[in-house]
Amino acid sequence: MGNRLELYGTIIKLVGQSMRMHDLRNVVTFAWMVTGLLISKTIHLGQWGLQRTGNALAASKERQISRWLHNPKLKPAEIYRDFVTAALLPWAGQQAILALDSSVLWERYVIIRVSLIYRGRALPLAWKVLEHSSASVGFGEYKSILEETSRLLPLHCEVVLLADRGFADIDLMQLAIHLGWHFNIRAKGNLLVHRPFKPRCKMSQLAPPKGEIRLIHTVQITQRRFGPVHLVLAHVKTQKGHEQWMLVSDRPTALDTLDEYALRFDIEENFLDDKSAGFQLESSQLRDADALSRLCLVLAVATLYLVSTGTAIVALQRRRFIDTHWNRGISYLQIGWRYLLSAVVYGQRLLTHLWLDPEPDPQPVYASRKQARTPTVSYSAIYFYD
């Protein structure tokens, strides 16, 4: 009981100082929700309620949590803003690589999210939940979360936005430029390309043979002749097999453009942490887009705290007390979670602040020595320019 209260005390100090909830009761309920999630490792309002102290009946505690999630006065973006802004202060003057992606729940809702790529995973920055059966959404639906993300990042931060072909939209590229961001976005093969002194063609017509890379600079795209932009086209070998990548960037492309885009897959690991590999989001009984958005706030705070704890454990050279691998074999989130549960059981000290170091990962993760020697993206050295 005492160790559980210590975890709750740690969480309420973290959220109470920076989160905009004017009613103390809402702050207390939120802190117990995060505590319940971290201890029970699942999204179950009844299980969360059991972690909360007090003489109230279990059903009363569950109803209180449900009321919080369905409270229209609680705006996740406003509540999260100061909390995550404080966590991102170390990124002032650093490069921040962002990923934009979406994930479908029960073929009924879609979560659109912008995340910060961080050491093999992605940290949620802004999101939106829609009642929508497809992962494909229009620019108007996610424009607001990109603008919200720009308000969270510190000054003098070099931003690179990565997105899959479902987001290959001229309006998105224009917004990125307006925000002062760079972009690296995968495009569809039917995208029209205008090259100087050459007839326009579809992007797929420029694709090189397998094993080769084609770098095309200073072109315009679509009938709106947006540009200048730069392209890289390649058949790449990923862990999922051979894929054809056609990327559009505001910067002159090079081989590194492919490696940079490959970081986008880390946001898929973030969604996996939300679901089967972590918080079990799909076990939630919520069927309301606004309530799910508030639930994502609980997950985002838990994610930041667990990754911070994992970062601290690695920095303090305590990882091998938690991770059985000789080299790091699990994510920072899982390292943090293992330490936290051990700390609750054995009364060890808990991390009392967010610790997100923007420096390169000192211990990159891999499942085996063979995987460590295998690049994420491989291709032949044959390439040519247009």
Residue 285 to residue 283: CA distance in whole angstroms: 6
pLDDT, one tens digit per residue, over 42-62 is 998 988 988 888 888 889 999
In a domain, 365, yes or no: no
Hey, CA dihedral for 355, 361, 363, 364, is it positive or negative?
positive
Pair (42, 95) in one structural domain: no
Residue 150: CATH number of its domain: 3.90.350.10
Q: Structure tokens of 207?
A: 């694709």
pLDDT score of 328: 80
Q: Which of 238, 271, 304 is the last residue of a domain?
A: 271
pLDDT score of 20: 76
pLDDT score of 381: 47
Pair (126, 155) in one structural domain: yes
Pair (227, 339) in one structural domain: no
Q: Which of 229, 248, 271 is the last residue of a domain?
A: 271
Contact 103, 167 (CB under 8 A): no
> Containing domain of residue 131, as a range?
77-271
Pair (107, 250) in one structural domain: yes
Dihedral pair phi/psi, residue 232, rounded to 5°: -135, 130
Pair (257, 238) in one structural domain: yes
Pair (260, 176) in one structural domain: yes
Q: Which residues of the chain have pLDDT under 70?
A: 1-2, 238-241, 366-386
pLDDT, one tens digit per residue, over 242-291 is 788 999 999 999 989 999 999 999 999 889 899 988 899 988 989 999 99
In a domain, 104, yes or no: yes
Within the chain, strands assigned E span 95-105, 109-118, 121-131, 158-163, 182-186, 192-194, 201-202, 212-221, 226-238, 241-249, 382-385
In a domain, 369, yes or no: no
Dihedral pair phi/psi, residue 57, rounded to 5°: -65, 155
Pair (65, 188) in one structural domain: no
Pair (265, 289) in one structural domain: no
Q: Which residues contact 326 (CB under 8 A, 6 or more apart)?
A: none
Pair (232, 106) in one structural domain: yes
Pair (111, 173) in one structural domain: yes
Pair (166, 246) in one structural domain: yes
Q: How many separate domains does the chain show?
A: 2
pLDDT score of 240: 65
